[in-house]
Structure 1
Amino acid sequence: MGRPLYSLRAKYDVIQEAGLIAERAFGAVLPVERSWNAISVVAPILEGHINSPGIYDQTDGKTYREADFPVPIPFGHSIQGYANCWNDTPVAITVRLTGWFIAPDGTKKAESSYTTTIEPGQAKSGGTDFVTVDQAGTWVLHIRMEAI
């Protein structure tokens, strides 16, 4: 009535025997494969800080510092945001610096990114692309520094 029940060991023996027979008959070598979790990668440690944000209004040639925030910028002006990204480690680090604005409607604008090396105790400027102010409300400047 039904299929005969075999133990897992019996199935293994049958499969193994079939493989040996195939190898003997055809000279075939059946592949054997194993895998290991052999490498654990830890993200680089980044010790640094970001300060001195600013806004450059390309249309009227003015630069605004953090003490001026929030800056009243007229519609139609082309602006760029930036900040200093510092390496606080005793060794040079390679980082990706990314800047963008979040416009009043919640959309990301003017995202810009580049990779650079920062020497110990030194800074590089991270910033946005230029964007034309086309919405009333608060534009939020974001600057990110990540080790790579």
Structure 2
Amino acid sequence: MEIRTGELSNPHVIKLLKTHHNDMLKHSPVESVHALDVSKLTHPNITFYSLWIDNNLAGVGALKALNTTHGEIKSMRTSSNYFRQGIAAKLLTHIIEQATLRGYKKLSLETGTAEAFLPAQKLYAQFCFKECEPFGNYELDPYSLFMSKAL
């Protein structure tokens, strides 16, 4: 297993991010989908990670700096060939470690409320994320669930 920083020009990463975005659109209206495309993931305040097993893409995730003490998890997705193998937990662990190394005091995320998002909600709860009010530029939305964790 190898976690790489970047790789946003890799065709496997691009394909997985497109799949992720299209899947979000199946469960939420377009105005409630907050998944970032490749161009937005290249922003300087975002660090993108990809997890590889034997040079096969297993999952992706990103850490966005909201300010000097608050980070946001973005674009968490596991490749379908690696579902239920702990990939998301490994990426989430890495992102939490990176946020801690940066000195963040808080880590937040937005996920969906539809049944398809229950596995993600359960994962975040296992890592002690709790429901919270919208943060950053988010607003209350029946399709969004906001979660935060003190670091």
TM-score of the superposition, structure 2-length normalised?
A: 0.22
Specify which structure has the higher proportion of strand: 1
**Greater fraction helix:** 2
Higher Cα radius of gyration? 1
Structure with larger RCO (C-alpha < 8 A, sep 6+): 1
Structure 1 length-normalised TM = 0.22
